[in-house]
Amino acid sequence: MPQLTPLLAPLWFAQLFTGAKSFVDNPLIGSPRLNALGLHATRVRAAHAMTARRRAKLAAPVEAADRAAFDRDGVVEIRDFLPAPTFQALREQLFAYRGPAREMVQGDTITRRLAMDPAARRALPAFERFSRDARWAALARYVAGFDIEPLLYIQSILPQRHSAPPDPQVRFHADTFYPAMKAWLFLEDVPLETGPFAYVKGSHKLTPARLAWEKQRSLSARDGDCRLSARGSLRIDTSELAALELPQPTVFAVPANTLVIADTFGFHARTQASLPATRVEIWAYGRRNPFRPFRGWDVLSLPGIAERRVPLRWWLGDKAEKLMPQPWRPVGLKGPTDD
Ligand SMILES: O=C(O)CCC(=O)C(=O)O
């Protein structure tokens, strides 16, 4: 709507100082001319510099080995994360639980999420041991670069449920132009056939080669034929990794009770499942405006509020549906393994 342009210009400008990442929804962020002058590259550099400062202040409580692994690789894998009896109890409680679920279909794959809201927490008392775990809490905050309580869900990945092109998550990508945290505590073994998570170790680092790649991609991302790249999650082919001095991906085909936590500025993907499996996990997500100078404090992370954020977001999303169609559809009461 061209007549709205002068009204929206201040909003587009203000968004430059937030995590807004879509090259198509904001004409400044998507402008090939501004990006040739270095707009995208400057946002990337500034966001990483701010994160490094905040992470330095969040480092002390993180176990030294976890910090070293994360700083080197951008991803940490911790096997046998919960004590065996707690994990067994968590599995039993989680597989028996049914709650208000949301689903999103991407290609042939359904992603189902149930909020770890107060009702879920009452039904899964063993979850408390995970959410209050000091090692997890410190690492989640360090990786996110903020002193925030992550959003927590029960998530199921159900590949090969539609006859459709492949799930777009199987193409390697960076979620954002800035560091952000995602984590998975797998409730069952994740063999290769079920489509494990994969990560390009070291790709969380903003090297000169990566910065040049970001700048190059920002010139054409808006007009390219990949919808998700245009929306700011740049896709990369594994054949391009060597030129960025990066290794081939590591596939996390891991046993049950493994925690994987990653900076999703690093290149990652879900590998292609070869059967219609159901991968069940506790899934966590932590990000905030990357240009914020301080690591905390976050009122939304307070107990009593933190666990109500997901239902609140869903409710707000439903209210704004007409303005902004949202992909997460309510599907009634479901359990994590229902088909
Ligand atoms: O579920 C996975 O294994 C990875 C999904 C993914 O690529 C993402 O969350 O961005």
pLDDT tens for 138-180 read 999 999 999 999 999 999 999 999 989 889 999 999 999 999 9
Residue 94 to residues 146, 248, 310, Cα–Cα distance (Å): 28, 35, 18
Q: Which atom of ligand 1 is found nearest the CA of 269?
A: 7
Confidence of residue 1 (pLDDT cuts 50, 70, 90): very low
Give yes or no for a contact between 156 and 280, defined as CB atoms under 8 angstroms apart: yes
Radius of gyration of the chain (CA): 20
Domains, in order of start, for the chain: 2-334 (2.60.120.620)
What does the alpha-carbon distance between residue 136 and residue 133 come to, in Å, rounded to a whole number?
A: 5
**In sequence order, what DSSP letters do the residues of 304-321 get, joined into one string?**
TTGGGHHHHHHHHHHHTT
Please work out whether the CB of residue 235 comes within 6 Å of at least one atom of ligand 1.
Answer: no
How many angstroms separate the CA atoms of 310 and 303, rounded? 14
Residues 195 and 156: their CA atoms lie apart, in Å, by: 12
Could you tell me where the beta strands, DSSP code E, fall in the chain?
75-78, 99-106, 109-115, 151-158, 181-186, 197-199, 250-251, 259-263, 268-270, 279-286, 329-334
pLDDT tens, position by position, 69-116: 999 999 999 999 999 999 999 999 999 999 999 999 999 999 999 999
Tens of pLDDT, residues 281-297: 999 999 999 999 988 77
Confidence (pTM): 0.95
For residue range 201-255, list pLDDT tens digits in order: 999 999 999 999 999 999 999 998 788 889 999 999 999 999 999 999 999 999 9
Burial of 325 (0-12, 13-18, 19+ CB in 10 A): exposed
Q: What is the pLDDT of residue 141?
A: 97
pLDDT score recorded for residue 296 = 78
Q: Of 197, 205, 189, which is closest to residue 252 (Cα–Cα)?
A: 197
Q: Which of 104, 270, 272 to mutate to test the pocket of ligand 1 (most atoms within 8 A of CB)?
A: 270
In the chain, count H helices and then E strands: 11, 11
d(CA 67, CA 337): 34
* DSSP secondary structure letters along 157-204: EE-S-SSSSPPGGGS-B-S-SS--EEEEEESS---GGG--EEE-TTTT
Is residue 80 a contact partner of residue 292, using CB atoms and an 8 Å limit? no
Percentage of the chain with pLDDT > 90?
88
Number of Cα atoms under 13 Å in the Cβ half of residue 335: 12
Rounded CA gap, 82 and 305, in Å? 25
Angle at 118 between CA 179 and CA 299, to 5 degrees: 50
Q: Is residue 45 exposed (0-12), middle (13-18) or buried (19+ Cβ within 10 Å)? A: middle
Rounded distance from Cα 73 to ligand 1 centre (Å) = 17
Cβ–Cβ contacts within 10 Å for residue 28, how many? Answer: 15
Instruction: Kindly indicate the confidence band of residue 2, based on its pLDDT and cuts at 50, 70 and 90.
Output: very low
Per-residue pLDDT reduced to its tens digit, 185-205 = 999 999 999 999 999 999 999
Q: Which protein residue has the closest C-alpha to ligand 1 atom 5? A: 270
Which of 184, 197, 228 most suits a substitution to test ligand 1, by most atoms within 8 Å of the C-beta? 197
How many angstroms separate the CA atoms of 130 and 2, rounded? 51
Check pLDDT > 70 for residue 3.
no
Q: How many CB atoms lie within 10 A of CB 27?
A: 14
pLDDT at position 4, please?
57
pLDDT per position as a tens digit, 24-65? 999 999 999 999 999 999 999 999 999 999 999 999 999 999
Nearest residue to 139 via CA among 71, 235, 226: 71
